[in-house]
Structure formats: structure tokens, C-alpha cells
Amino acid sequence: MGGAVSAGEDNDELIDNLKEAHYIHSDLVERAFRAIDRADYYLEEYRDSAYKDLAWRHGNIHLSAPCIYSEVMEALDLHPGLSFLNLGSGTGYLSTMVGLILGPFGVNHGVELYADVIEYAYQKLDYFIKTSESFDKFEFCEPSFVAGNCLEIPPESRQYDRVYCGAGVQRDHEEFMKNLLKVGGILVLPLEEKLTKIRRTGQSSWETKKIIAVSFAPLALPQHNTNGEPKTVPLPMFEVRTLQELARIAIRHTLRVTTDNGEGQPRGQGSFGGGRGLGVSGLHKYGPRFKRRRVHRRHCTSVVLAHKRVVNNADPTPAPLDNNNNNHGGQEDGQRRAAREEEEEAEKETGELLPAEPPINILRERILCLPLPEPLKMYLLYCREK
């Protein structure tokens, strides 16, 4: 299933194509998609196919087409603090994107049939947390996965605000899926070859909307134990965060959203627990993608050297996000203007696309400047290497 949009050269171009085709239309979903490179969830030898709008399968590992994930993310209508259950969680790609929106006080659970796929998902999750620059731009709800058949979840299990099923569901199991929802919750699933959105409006009332035609492998039916008794799959626990974890969340949030103007005033309105729209989910004010410069090959060296001179002459202290009282502003503005003029001159000639360098990780720089022992700094950084 897929092929609805053109392939991209990279993750950003794929997202651009999904937006142009109106599969992605909300800023929240766009930023989550841009934050996670789809190719990171492919095996190395198949990365060249990652930016095509096609599903991919290798053994038990499976990824749906990007257009399908886009429709699912938009239909789920995600907000910070919600609880989410992913049935057939697979590589964890969707669960990780959802976690970027849910924020630190959401719940992010997944059930996957194959234990080897869960191991693969945790490897990819660890890689994202340890290496991705996007991690520090969000307040993250880390997913938890359990192995088993989702049809063996006990009927008395807790209910969720949002549920997604990544396998084809027949009418026989529709009621089972609906009962996993809280009142007011949303269920998205492939129901009889149609991606369907179901909202629970009351204890026994529902609103149903067909989204697009899809083709999914059917749900695997449960297998009984040797004694004839049905198996049960316990869902992950709803864990209460420790005081230590809450302190880390609060410190990172404060360093992320406050200015460095000497007054300690927060940027924007609202407190840590208040409604800040995108800010609650930890979304940076940075644009969704960085502009790429057109630079002719023969100008490449001089542009890079000019950039290095700008960096080396600048004050090594990390710049605050919204500080307008920089004493060196005039000199640095002149240097930046000169570099920009040189780039614009080079852009007049046709040449190669060179990626712009990403901005400084302000959160990381602020943590490293704190008067704390190194082990505490590394804890605040989630032990991430630079």
C-alpha cells in the first residue's frame, strides 16, 4: 500500500511531498514527522528505499507507507498528556512520533506479536534517544512494548484515549477494539479494507468515519495453550514517575522555554503544567526544516572558511534564545551579513545543494553550563553524547 506521493531525496523532501498532497496538514504532525528520519528504522541495506511512499517488510519487520502513517497521525488528533495504545507496534516508528506529541505526562504503550521485532524497536528507540538532535527539542513520552497477540488483552484492562491497530480487522473483532477506548477516545484501524476513525461518544454510542481504502495483512488469531485455556497479554503498567524523573523533566523544561535576559522570565505564557499549545509538547520555535543553500562547487571552500572565521571570532559562550542585549551584536551582524552576501552571490550560479549547518543545541549548552557534578549533567542529558 502506498505510492500516493512522489519519492523524496531525504526525509524532509518526503514530508514536503506529503504536505503538498494534503496527507499532512497540521503543524504538530509535520514537526513530529520531520523530527524522526524514516530511514533510521530500515535495515542498512534497504535505506535507499526509505523515502518512497511504499510499505516495507523484511521478515517480521514491517513499516507502513508514509501516506498511511500521515493519515493515522492526523486522524488520532493527538494532544499532550493523552494515553495511547498501539496494537501491532512493529518497529516503534509510529509510537516514537506519537511520543513526541504526548509529552512527558502521557502514556505510550505498544503490543507486538513478535519478540524479535520488539527487540528491534527498542534498539531503534535507544538510537533515537542517544543520537538524534531532535530529542532535545521535544519533551518525550517514551514508549513501552510488550509481546503478545492484541486479541488476548484481558477485557478488564485499562482503557486508552487513543488506540491504533496496524493490522486488518474484521467485523468480528470490532467490538473488542472499541472496548479498549475511554469515552471521548478515538480508535483508528483498517476495518474491512477501509482505514476507519471511530470516536466513542458515550458508553454505548460511537461516531464512525471512513478515511481511505487500504490493504493490510489481517490480524493473527489467538492460539490456545496446550491445556486449551486462552492466553492473556498483560498491558504495560501505568507507571508513576519518581521524584528524580520529575525533577529532570522540570529542569529541562525550564531551561528550554526561558530566556536568558537576567530576569528569569519565561518565554511565552503559562506555567510548566499549563496549556501552552505546542509548547506543552516541547516543540521548539524553530521552523520545521532548515534552508538548504545552493553553492557552486568552486565556491565551497571559501564559504566554509568564511563560516569558520565567523565561528572562531564569536564569543564561545552559548547565545541565549531571545537576548537582545549582546554587546558584540554589531560586529557579529556584520560578519554574518558578509557571509550571507557571499552565499547569495554564489547562489546566482547553478551548483550543488549543500545542507545548512543546524543551530546550536541551546538546551545542551545550558545544561553543560550548570554548576553541577558531571554525573548529574549527564543524567539531565539522558547520557547523550554530543
Q: How far apart are CA 267 and CA 276, in angstroms?
A: 11
DSSP string, 169-184: B-GGGHHHHHTTEEEE
Q: How far apart are CA 81 and CA 185, in angstroms?
A: 13
Q: How far apart are CA 134 and CA 144, in angstroms?
A: 20
Strand, helix or coil for residue 186: strand
Q: Quick one: cell of 113?
A: 506479536
Contact criterion met (CB below 8 Å) for 191 and 219: no
Contact criterion met (CB below 8 Å) for 71 and 195: yes
Burial class (CB in 10 A: 0-12, 13-18, 19+), 20: exposed
Nearest 5°: the CA angle 254, 256, 258 is 60
Residue 312 to residues 33, 305, 341, 342, Cα–Cα distance (Å): 34, 10, 19, 18
* CB atoms near residue 18 (< 10 Å): 25
Helices (H), 36-184: 66-76, 93-102, 115-131, 174-178
**Marked catalytic residue, from 64, 70, 144, 281:** 64
Q: How far apart are CA 228 and CA 250, in angstroms?
A: 50
DSSP-derived pairing of the beta strands 160-165 and 181-191? parallel
User: Is residue 64 annotated as a catalytic residue, yes or no?
Assistant: yes
Residues 6+ apart with CB under 8 A from 114: 60, 147
Q: E-strand spans in the chain?
A: 56-58, 61-63, 83-87, 107-112, 144-147, 160-165, 181-191, 194-202, 205-213, 293-295, 352-354
Write out the catalytic residue numbers: 64
